[in-house]
Structure 1
Amino acid sequence: MVSTNYDIIVVGAGIVGTSIAAHLSQTLAPHTRIALVAPAAQPAIDPEPFDPRVVALTDASRQLLEQLGVWRSVAEQRACPYRDMHVWDGEGAGHIEFSAHDLGRDTLGHIVEHRVLNQALERALELTAVERWQQPVSALLRQPDGSINGVELSTSETLQAPLIIAADGARSPLRKMAAIDERQWSYQQSAIVATVRSQAPHGLVARQRFMNTGPLALLPLIDTPQASDGHHCSIVWSADQAFADSLMALDDTEFCQALERHFERRLGTIEHVSTRHAFTLHQRHATRYAQPGLALVGDAAHSIHPLAGQGVNLGLLDVACLTRELQRAQERGLSTGEYATLRRYERQRMGHNLTMMAAMEGFKRLFGSRQPGLTLLRNRALSSVNTLPALKNLLAQQAMGLSL
C-alpha cells in the first residue's frame, strides 16, 4: 500500500475547500506540505451567459479574497457591487432600506457568480505548492488512541497528516465517517434560482420581498466591468414546496408574469428568464466542528436558509479563523493537528454560526407566519428600525462582517 505524508490534508474543492487550501499554503511556514483531495473542476459548458447560482459576498469575505490574491481576477471578470438594499414585507407596509453611503462606504457587498469565483480560486491554487489528489476518500485512518491521522483513497493509496480538514459539503462523507452527529431538518421549501432581465434597471440595489410562502430576492448583476445596461438580476425565490413545484411547472412566459406579480413590478416587466434550477432547503449543524486530527469547515459544519445569503460568507469566516489558529500553533512549535488548537477554532466559530442560524430561523418563521398579530408586529418593527439610523447601521455592519 502506497502512503504519502503531509502536514495538512483538505478534502473538498468547492469555494471553501479551495480557499482554505490556498490560504494555508500562503500563510503557514514554507515547506508546509498540503494536499487537496477532490476532483479538478471541469470547465463549465453553459449556454447561459450568467451562472444562475450567485453569492452575496460581504466586505469581510472580499478582504479574505484580496489576501488570497483572487479578488482582482474576480472583479475583472464579473462582480456586481450593490450600494443599497431594500427589504419589505409583502403582507403589509413594513420596510427597511440600507445604504452604503450611510456607513461611509462605497458598497454594501458584491454579487458574484459561483462559476466566476470558483475559476479564480482554481487559478490561484495552481500558483501554490498544494498537491492535488483526484480520487475520492473511502475511509479515515486512525491511530491506536482513536485520533485521525489520514485518509484512504478509493485506489487504496493512503495519505497521512496530523490534520484533516473536511470541506466536502453539506452531506459531508468525512463527517459521517468520523461519526459526528448533526441536527438537521427540512424547511419544506425549495429555492428557485435563475437569471432574469427586467424592464427597469436595478440601479445596483439588492431587493428582497418577504412573503408567507417564502422570501424572493432579486440581486443585481453586471454584464462586464466595462459596460452594463443594469437590467440583469439573479433571483433566489425560496418557496413552500407545493408552490415551488407549481412555479417550476410554468413555462417561461408564465413564470415571468408570476415573478412580476410577486415582486410588485418593482423592476417593471420581467422580459426574460434563463433556465431555472430548484434546490431543496435544509438546515444542518454538526454537533462538533473538531475531533483529534479533524476539523469541519463550511457546509460540512453548517448550512442555513439562503434568505440572507450568508452561507458562503460563514464558510469563509471559518477559513479565516482556522487559518489564524493554525498559524499561531505553528509559531509556537505545535503540531497542525493539536486538538487544543482545533477546539479554539470550534469555540469561536460554533457560537457565531449558531447565532446566525438562530437569527435566520427566527426571520423565516416570523415572516412565514399568517397570524394577523405577528404580521402587524413585524411590519411595525421593520418600519421602526428604518427610522433608527444607529441601530440600522449596526445591523448592516453585522451583515457585512465588519464587526467580527
Structure 2
Amino acid sequence: MQQVQVCIVGGGCVGLAAALGLAKKGVRVAVIDSGKAPHALGDEYETRVSAISLGSQQLFDALGVWNDIAAMRAAPYHEMDVRDKDSTGKIAFSGKTLDLPELGHIVENEAIRFALYNALKTNVNAEVHYNTRYQALHQTHTDVLVTLESGMPIMAKLLVAADGANSAIRKQFNMPITYWDYDHHAIVATVRTQLPHNSTARQVFLPTGPLAFLPLQDSYSHSIVWSTEPSHASALMAMDETEFNKALHEAIDGQCGLCSLVSERAVFPLTMRYAKEWVQGRVALMGDAAHTIHPLAGLGMNLGLKDAALLIELLSEPAEEFCSTKLLREYERRRKLDAQKHIAMMQGLKTLFEGNNPLKKLIRGVGLSMVDKLGPIKDLFAKQAIEGK
C-alpha cells in the first residue's frame, strides 16, 4: 500500500501544479492519470495553448519551473488589441503604459505539463503515475482509499479531482453542477500570416462570436480560437483550406495580412459548468472539474491555477490536523466566489457582444471607445485582467 497525504487524479497543468506546490512544501503527493505522460515539444506547435497571466507566471516562478516553461516557445505579448467588428469600438492595452515588461505569455499546454512533470520526477515527496487508471474509490471520515486497476491501493487524507470538465470523480460522488450551453463551438488551429504579429494579442468580436489571434514565438505564427455558433462552426470546418484562410482574413479585418493554415483544425463545444459542491468529505474538486467558462478572455487555465495556488497555501500552513474540514470549506468558499465572479463576467460579455442588435452595437462602440480614452479606468481594468484577479 502506498500512503500519501494527497492523491490527485488528473495529470494536466492544474493537477501537476498543485502536486508540485504541495510536494515542495513537504506534503506527500501521488498523481494518477489514465493518459500518456507529458512529452517534449516537437517542431510543430501544439494546437492547445493558454494565455498565461502574470499571476500564473508568479505561481510557476514560485514552483521553480517558469524558466523551463519560458524556454519552451513561451511567447510574451506586449500589446492587446480588442475591437468590435460591427462598430467603431476598439480598446488597446500596452505593457509600456502599464510599466510592465509584458502583458502575459502564450504558452503551449504541453510545455507547462512537461516542465511540471520533470520537476515532480525529482521530488522525493511525489509519485506520478501515467497510463494508470483507478478501479475503485472509497472514503471514510478521515481517509480516501484509491485502488488502482493493478490492484495497488493508495491511502490518502485528501483526494483532489483534477480530472477535467467531465470529471468521473465528481459524478461518482454525486456532486451537483449547474451548467448551460454557450451555444458556441470553438475552432482552434495554428496559422501563419503575411505580416508579423508584433507580439500583439488580437480579439475581434463578430456577431456570431469572438475570434482571437494569439501570438506564438515565431513572428508570423498565431494560435487562433474562433468561438462561433454551431452551424457557423460546421460551415467553417467544412471549408477547404483556401476558403477557410479567406474567411479568417476577412473576420480579422486583414490586420496581419493573408492567413495560411499550418495545422489541422479542431472543434469542441463550449459549456459553462459550475460545481454547486466543491468539497464532499475528503474529496475536493479543482480546475475544470469544478468550473469551465467561455474562452473569450482566456481565463480558464488561470482560474484553475488559482485553485491550485490556494490549496497549496492552505495545506502548507501549520495546523493541528492536516486538511481539516474547516480548511477545505475555506478553500471551497474562496474559490467558489472567484469562479462565480468570472462566470458572470464572461456571460455578460458574451451577451453584450453577440448579435446585430443596433442598441448593443451602440453600447459596444461607445463603451469600448470611452474606456480606451479613460486612462485610470482603462489601466485598472487591464491590471485586473493581466494579473489574473
Q: Same fold (TM over 0.5)?
A: yes
Are 2:375 and 1:389 aligned?
A: yes
Distance 2:137 2:104 in 1: 39
Paired residues, number: 387
User: Of 50, 61, 66, which residue of structure 1 is paired with 2:61?
Assistant: 66
Structure-to-structure mapping, 1:212-361, within 5 angstroms? 212-223=207-218, 230-328=219-317, 331-336=318-323, 338-361=324-347
CA contact (8 A) 2:76 2:104 kept: yes
After TM superposition, give the deviation of residue 47 of structure 1 in Å. 7.6
Matches within 5 A, 1:1-150: 3-27=1-25, 29=26, 32-39=27-34, 41-42=36-37, 49-129=44-124, 130-134=126-130, 135-143=132-140, 149-150=144-145
For 1:158-237, list aligned pairs within 5 A. Answer: 158-223=153-218, 230-237=219-226
Identity %: 40
Q: Which amino acid aligns with 2:134?
A: V
Query: Contact (CA 8 Å) 1:148, 1:292: kept in 2 or not?
Result: no
- The secondary structure found in structure 1 opposite 2:341 is helix
Q: 1:137: Cα distance to partner?
A: 2.4
TM-score, structure 1 as length reference? 0.92
What are the superposed Cα offsets for residues 208-228 of structure 1, whole Å, 9 maximum, x if unpaired?
A: 0001201000011113xxxxx
* 1:33-72 Cα deviation digits (max 9, x unpaired): 2111114634669986111111000000001111111111
Distance in 2 (alpha carbons) for counterparts of 1:400 and 1:204 = 15
Residue in structure 1 matched with residue 349 of structure 2 by the alignment:
363
Indicate how the Cα distance of structure 1 residues 218 and 285 shifts in structure 2: closer, same or farther if over 3 A, else same: same
Q: Residue by residue, what CA displacement relative to the aligned partner does 1:190-215 show, whole Å, maximum 9, x if unpaired? A: 11111111111100000000012010
| Secondary structure of the corresponding residue to residue 195 of structure 2 | coil
- 1:50 & 1:342 partners in 2: Cα distance? 38
Letter in 2 for 1:313: N
Shift of 1:150: 2.4
- Counterpart CA distance in 2 for 1:150 and 1:305 is 35
Q: How does 1:375-386 map to 2 (within 5 A)?
A: 375-386=361-372
Rounded to whole Å, the distance in 2 between the matches of 1:270 and 1:396 is 29
Instruction: Give the AA of the match of 2:274.
Output: H
Is residue 56–residue 302 contact of structure 2 (8 Å, CA) maintained in 1? yes
CA RMSD across the alignment: 1.7
CA deviations on 1:146-175 (whole Å, 9 max, x unpaired) are x66222323343221111111111101111
TM-score by length of 2: 0.95
2:134–2:147 Cα contact (<8 Å) kept: yes
- Deviation digits for residues 350-371 of structure 1 (CA, Å, limit 9, x no counterpart): 1111101110011111111322
**Inter-partner Cα distance in structure 2 for 1:256 and 1:12:** 36
Bigger CA drift: 128-137 or 186-195?
Answer: 128-137
Look up the equivalent residue of 2:369 and give its one-letter code.
Answer: S
The unaligned stretches of length 5 or more in structure 2 are: none
Using the alignment, how far apart are the partners of 2:326 and 2:40 within structure 1? Answer: 45
Deviations 1:75-114 (A, max 9, x none): 1121111011000001111111111111111100000011
Q: Tell me which amino acid in the other structure corresponds to 1:287.
A: K
Question: Aligned equivalents of 1:241 and 1:231: distance in 2?
Answer: 29
Q: Aligned equivalents of 1:192 and 1:133: distance in 2? A: 31
Residue pair 1:84, 1:98 contacting (<8 A) in 2 also: yes
- Structure 2 counterpart of 1:227: none
In 2: Cα distance, 1:65 partner to 1:120 partner: 10
Structure 1: distance between partners of 2:42 and 2:15? 27
The corresponding residue for 2:387 is 401
- The amino acid that maps onto 1:5 is Q
SS at match of 1:288: coil
3-state SS, counterpart of residue 101 of structure 1: coil
Structure 1, unpaired ranges of 5+: 224-229
CA distance in 2 between partners of 1:359 and 1:285 (Å): 14
